[in-house]
Amino acid sequence: MIKTHKFLIDQYVDGVDTVKLTDKRNYIECYGFDASKDKVIDLYINYIRLLNGMKSQWKSWGYLDFGLVPVVMAPSFIHTAIKETIVDRLGLLGIEFHLLPSMSFLTGDMNNVVGDTDVWVSREVISNVMEIPINQVTVEKFIRWCYSDESERYYQSSRN
Partner 1 sequence: MSLRDIIKVVETDGVFKLDDFRSSLCTDSEWKKFKSILLITEDHSSRFANTEDAMQFLDWCPAFKSIDQASFEDIFYCEKVGYRLEGVPAKLVFILSKALNLYPPNKALSLVDKRVFQKYSDGKNIKEGVCIRKVLSTICKYDVKLLCKDMPIVKNDNVFEVYMEEHDAVLVMPEKIGEKLYRNPDQVKLLSVDKEKGVMLLDVPLSTVLAGRAYIDVFDLRHVL
Could you give the string, one character per residue 124-153, with x where binding to partner 1 holds by CB under 8 A and - elsewhere? Answer: x-----------------------------
CA angle 140, 141, 147 (to 5 degrees): 95
Please, what's the largest Cα pairwise distance for the chain? 55
First to last CA, the chain: 50
Could you give the string, one character per residue 25-64, with x where binding to partner 1 holds by CB under 8 A and - elsewhere? Answer: -------------------------------x-xxxx-x-
Please say which residue, 6 or 123, places its beta carbon nearer to partner 1.
Answer: 123
Say whether 150 sits in a helix, a strand or coil.
helix
Interface residue list for partner 1 (CB under 8 A): 56, 58-61, 63, 65-68, 80, 83-84, 87, 91, 98-101, 108, 110, 116-117, 122-124
